[in-house]
Amino acid sequence: MIDMHSHILWNVDDGPKTLEESLALLEQAEKEGITDMISTSHSQHPQFDAKLEIVNEQIPQLQQELAKREITLTLHRGHEVRLTENLISLLQTGQVHTLANSSYLLLELPSSHVPNYTKSIIEALLIEGITPIIAHPERNKGISEKPARLERLIRQGAVAQITAGSLAGHFGKSVQKLSLELVRANLVHTYGSDVHNLSSRPFLFEEGLRFLEKKKEIDSINMLLHNNRRILENERFILFEPEEIKEKKWWKLF
């Protein structure tokens, strides 16, 4: 399985602080059945900005340490890029990583709202041949208050990522409920742990999938995991057409 959203580099953001903490995360990833991880340290965040060069330095170091420990886990470069008005310039000048050198970019919105210029940035990214993946929309206050805001971004051409911990109930019952509703509405398309550490922000990768299995969302599990693979292969996602979303009666969420 592939984890497409993770904070595994040390001393760059709110993830692990030391190399040993990073390696402890990666050892746990193997236990969770994860075979590939895309490292998505924060970029352009108000508090954190993991530079491209640091990502390029640490990923090979970690991969070497994994080989020494005989851990069969493959790491890939990426960033979780905070929405910013100069994002296209950053992309064009090679200052941020797409996911595993693909045409997908993990895009983080402010936690409190969906900025008015989000749609224009999505349009500009699509023109550049980059598909934005909206990170953890279930934890955005503006989307939780009105999920139709996410639906509009999806119809515009973005896709979205649901978090394992959200489905597992780690962020509370209301976030868990909204997460399931977004899955059932076909408004999320890929699955990541957003792991930061082994205590307050753990993987919960299998637990989130078990929750979906319990809710009889087997087709959704397959879609999410297959789309994770498509990031590495740089292929188009499996997506439902708008009329299929309509058949799911997504409007009952709002």
- At residue 3 the predicted structure's pLDDT band, cuts being 50, 70 and 90, is very high
pLDDT of residue 159: 97
Q: Given the structure tokens 């904070």, which residue do they identify? A: 7
Which structural domain range is residue 248 located in? 2-253
Phi/psi for 251 (5° steps) reads -65, -20
| Closest to 167 measured CA to CA, from 252, 224, 118 | 224
Q: What is the DSSP letter of 129?
A: T
**pLDDT above 90: residue 250:** no
Any idea of the CA torsion for 233, 229, 187, 98, to the nearest 10 degrees? -50
Q: Is the pTM of this model over 0.95?
A: no
| Closest to 136 measured CA to CA, from 46, 42, 51, 70 | 42
- At residue 251 the predicted structure's pLDDT band, cuts being 50, 70 and 90, is very low
Record the tokens describing residue 107, joined without a space: 């895009």
Separation between Cα atoms, residue 127 and residue 88, nearest integer Å: 10
pLDDT of residue 239: 80
Any idea of the CA torsion for 135, 132, 226, 185, to the nearest 10 degrees? 70
Phi/psi for 156 (5° steps) reads -75, -20
**pLDDT above 90: residue 238:** no
Separation between Cα atoms, residue 229 and residue 38, nearest integer Å: 11
Separation between Cα atoms, residue 19 and residue 66, nearest integer Å: 12
Report long-range pairs for 56-59 (Cβ below 8 Å, ≥24 apart).
58/9, 58/10, 58/12, 58/22, 59/9
CATH of the domain at 95: 3.20.20.140
- At residue 202 the predicted structure's pLDDT band, cuts being 50, 70 and 90, is very high
**pLDDT above 60: residue 246:** no
* Inter-CA distances, 129 with 18, 170, 194, 246, Å: 36, 35, 25, 27
pLDDT of residue 241: 57
| Closest to 96 measured CA to CA, from 77, 115, 123 | 77
Burial class (CB in 10 A: 0-12, 13-18, 19+), 218: exposed
> Measured on CA atoms in the order 200, 228, 113, 50, is the torsion positive or negative?
positive
Phi/psi for 34 (5° steps) reads -85, 135
Q: What is the DSSP letter of 229?
A: H
**How many domains does the chain divide into?**
1
